[in-house]
Amino acid sequence: MRILLTGSGGFIGRHLLPFLRARGHDVVPLLRGRGGAPSDLRAVRDWAGWPENIEAVAHLAALNPARGTREAQDDAALMAANAHATRALAGRAASEGARVVVMASTGLVHGLGEAPVAEGERIAPQNSYAASKLAAEAELAEALRGSATRGVALRLPPVFGPGGAGAIAKLAKLSRLPVPLPVPQGGRRSILWLGDALEAFALALEGEALSGAYLVAADEAPTLRAMAGAMRGAAPLPLPGALPRTVARLLGRGEAWRRIEESLVFRNDRFRRETGWRPQADALEALGWDERRMVRELERIGARP
């Protein structure tokens, strides 16, 4: 299958490119601003260089506040890059006869809560980035309405692997310090090993019937304390339960700490049922792999750039 890939330079995208090729697909990366490709994806609807015979689109390009740029902190810029660009890309894919557009979304479109959440439950974007991704899902569906092209949004939890960034990478860095960690006892969170995320994207692209939003996550949802312990190789040194909460409140970060103590667990049964996908890695065990082990696992499945 001939696949157009956006975001091939990102954390997941740079591994998805060789992974899909190892499965026998012809993958064409859309490198914005290079080779005549538009630097703004919203202009893709009029791009004269659209590759021929594209059967599927994997859309991973996004603006994310985790990058720390000024643009990524702007709500309007997030909507333009994530929602409006998705509509333009999906519309062009449909007009060119693509079979499916699969986009990367985020589980942060769901609100916090103790009960595991399914796709239609607790829709309450946690930040501007999540709001822009939820809007992108709606734009994807609207752009493809009435066409023969299906739209699939994979709502991902934090994905970890070599070279990853974000919350898990920060927790890993803290876990290596020989000091007590201010990690709450509770707060179960869904996570996903990179190799399993790549398999999910491949199955979504290759499938014949998927449509709409799907939560994709490991079967287990460990506590933050358990994650830190797996990364450290031993349980984090304990702190009095109320101390981190009190310090956070004194620093004006009480609400942020309260959110850390809450859970966000995803149900993956719909995606498993419709694709046959099964996580190959025990997520908690994989958190304890060193970088060499992670690289070996990716090389084994053909996903090493």
* Range of lowest pLDDT (101-110, 205-214, 226-235): 226-235
What tens digit of pLDDT does each residue of 32-70 get?
A: 877 778 989 999 999 999 999 999 999 999 998 876 677
Alpha-carbon distance of 201 to 56, in angstroms, equals: 11
Is the domain covering 2-164+191-219+265-300 a CATH 3.40.50.300 domain?
A: no
What tens digit of pLDDT does each residue of 92-101 get?
A: 999 999 999 9
Which residues are CB-neighbours of 22 under 8 A, at least 6 positions away?
Answer: 301, 302, 303
Predicted confidence at residue 243, as pLDDT, reads 45
What tens digit of pLDDT does each residue of 70-85 get?
A: 777 889 999 999 999 9
Residue 250 has pLDDT above 50, yes or no: no
Q: Identify the residue whose tokens are 């023969």.
A: 148
Centre a 10 Å sphere on the Cβ of residue 176 and count the other Cβ atoms it contains.
Answer: 10
Q: What share of the chain has pLDDT > 90, as a percent?
A: 71
Predicted confidence at residue 234, as pLDDT, reads 60
Residue 201 has pLDDT above 70, yes or no: yes
* Range of lowest pLDDT (111-115, 167-171, 177-181, 221-225): 177-181
Q: Could you state, in order of their start, the residue ranges of all structural domains in the chain? A: 2-164+191-219+265-300
Confidence band, pLDDT 50/70/90 cuts, at residue 254: very low
What tens digit of pLDDT does each residue of 272-299 get?
A: 999 999 999 999 999 999 999 999 999 9
Angle, CA of 178, 181 and 186, to the nearest 5°: 145
Buried-exposed string 21-43: b where 16+ CB fall within 10 A, e elsewhere: eebebebbbbebeeeebbeebee
The token duo for 183 is: 């990690």
Residue 246 has pLDDT above 80, yes or no: no
